[in-house]
A and B are shown apart, each in its own frame.
Chain A
Amino acid sequence: MTQYSELIERLLKGETRAAARLMTIAENDIEAAEDIVKSIYKNTGNAYILGITGAPGSGKSTFISTLIRKLVKEGKKIGVICVDPSSPLTGGALLGDRIRMKEHFSIDNLFIRSMANRGQLGGLSRATEDIIKIMDAYGCDIIIVETVGVGQSEVDIFKSAHTVLALVVPGLGDDIQTIKAGIMEITDIFIINKMDLPGADRKVSELIRMLELNMNYSYSDDINNNFAKINQWTPEIVKTNSISGENFDKLLEKINKHKEFLKKTGIISNYHKTRIKSEILKILEYKMTQKIEKLFNTSEQIDKSIQKVINKSTDPYSMAELIIEMMGIEDSF
C-alpha cells in the first residue's frame, strides 16, 4: 500500500476531510495522484457525471446552484467540481464559483470543490479526472463538473461526463457561431438560460435549425463511432430561469431521459470504453513525453546527432525516426 493508505481508508468510509486532503495531494503531485487512483479505482464508477459548459457569464454557477437544490431534495449525495482559469502570467487564480452557491454551503450531502485549470487547455485541469474519481469513491451519486467559461474548442468535458449540458444565453448576438463547431457536437442538452431575457425563443429556433443541419450532415448508424452519441441522440433544448427555478423539473426529466437512453441503447458501455481508451492514451502520452524528454536531454548520442541536423547532413524527421529506433518502441510491436 501507499503512504496514503490511511487517508484512503478514511475516504472510503466517507470522511470529507480525507477526501479533501487527497484532492489537494492529487492536484499538486502527479505521482501521488497515480498512487491514489491505483488504490481507489475499484471503488469508482458509481457516480453519474454531468458536465456543465458555456460561455463566461452564461450563468453556469447560478444554474448549478439551482440544480443542486433540486437534486439534494431527491436525497442524492452531490459532488460539484468548479474549474476556473489560472493566470498565464503568474499561475495564480481567483476561484469565485462558490459565491453563487453559498445558500448550499451547509448542506451535508454536498461537496463543492474549486479548482484552477493550471494552464491546461480544454476547459478542465489535469487533475480533474482524478478528483472526479476521488469524489466517486467518496460516495457521491452525482458529480457535476463545471468547466471554465468556454469558447469553441474546450470540449474535454465530453470525455469525462455522461451527460453534457451547454448553457446558451439570449442576446449575446450571434453566439450560435461560437458553438457550432466544437460544443455543438458534444452537447446532449442545450440550456437556454436567462429565459426571461428577450430573444430566448429566437435562440431556441436558431438552435433547432443548427442541429437539423448538423444531424443531416453526419448521420451514422455505427455506434462504435466516437460521435455516435450525437448521431443517435437528438439533443434536447430546455429554457431555464436559474433565479426562479422555472423549468428545472423539465430539465431533470431530460437528464433522466438521456441517462435511460445511454443505458437502453448500450451506448453507455461503448462510451465507457471510448472514455477509458482516451484516458489511457492521455496517460501514455504524458509518460512517453517524460521519457523522451529525459532521453533527449541526457543522451550524448542524440546531442551529437543534433549537430548533424545543424550541419544539414541529416534532417529533423530522420533524426526523430532514429530516436524512436533508439527507444526500441517499434521493435516491441
Chain B
Amino acid sequence: MSNNRKIKVLVTKPGLDGHDRGAKVVARGLRDAGMEVIYTGLHQTPKDIANTIIQEDPDAVLLSILSGAHNALCPKIMEQLKEHNIDDVLVAVGGIIPEEDKDYLRELGLQGFYGPGTEIKTIVNFVKENIKR
C-alpha cells in the first residue's frame, strides 16, 4: 500500500472495570506516535469488541483489564475473533496480569502483556513490529 498507510489501533476496556487512566495514557501515547487510535470507553462485552473490530478493521487491539477477570474475558474475546475468522489482528493486554496467568493467555493468542510501569515507547515499538499486515 502507499505511504499514506496509518496504523490503526483499538484501545478498549472489557468487562466491569472502571480504571481507565492506563487505557487513556496508552491511547494518547499511540496517538503521539502517529497512529490512529479508537478508544471505545468502558464496559465492553466480548461481542461489542468483536463488532467494533469487524467494523473498524484495526491492525491491533489493546485490551485494558485491571479487574482480575482476564481469564474469563480473554477466552471469550478470542473465541469471538475465531468465530468471525479474524486472524490478522494483533491482540495484547494491559493492566494487572499475574505472571502465572500469562502462559494460558499466550496459548489463546494474546501476544503482549504491558502492566503498570511500562514505557509508552515499548508499547509503540511492540505494535509497530508485530502488526500482521
Question: Digit string of B22-56 for contact with A (CB within 8 Å is 1, else 0)?
Answer: 00000110111111111111011101100110111
Least CB separation from B11: chain A residue: A94
Number of A-B contacts (CB under 8 A): 96
Q: Taking the complex as formed, is A57 at the interface, i.e. its CB lies under 8 A from any CB of chain B?
A: no
Q: Identify which of A16, A20, A95, A111 contacts B36 (C-beta below 8 A).
A: A95
Interface of chain A, helix or strand or loop or mixed? mixed
A306 to B55 CA separation, bound complex (whole angstroms): 50
Query: How many whole Å from B80's CB to the nearest CB in chain A?
Result: 12
Q: Are the CB atoms of A113 and B44 closer together than 8 Å?
A: no
Chain B residues with CB under 8 A of A95: 36-39
B4 and A28 form a contact (CB under 8 A): yes
Are A32 and B1 touching (Cβ within 8 A)? yes
Binary CB contact string for chain B from 56 to 79 against chain A (1 if under 8 A, 0 otherwise):
110000000000000000000000
Whether A92 contacts B34 by the Cβ 8 Å rule is: yes
**Size of chain B's interface in residues, with CB distance under 8 A?**
33
A29-B34 in contact (CB<8A) = no
A258 to B: closest C-beta gap in Å: 28
Interface residues of B (CB under 8 A from A): 1-2, 4-6, 8, 27-28, 30-41, 43-45, 47-48, 51-52, 54-57, 84, 86
**Contacts from A to B (Cβ < 8 Å):** 16-17, 20-21, 23-25, 27-32, 86-87, 90-96, 98-99, 102, 105-106, 111-114, 116, 118
Q: Which 9 A-B pairs have the closest CB atoms?
A: A99-B41, A92-B31, A105-B48, A20-B57, A95-B38, A92-B34, A90-B34, A24-B57, A28-B5
Known: A17-B84, A24-B57. 17 other contacts (CB 8 A): A17-B54, A17-B57, A21-B57, A27-B6, A28-B4, A29-B2, A29-B4, A87-B34, A92-B37, A93-B37, A94-B28, A98-B38, A99-B41, A105-B52, A106-B51, A111-B55, A112-B55
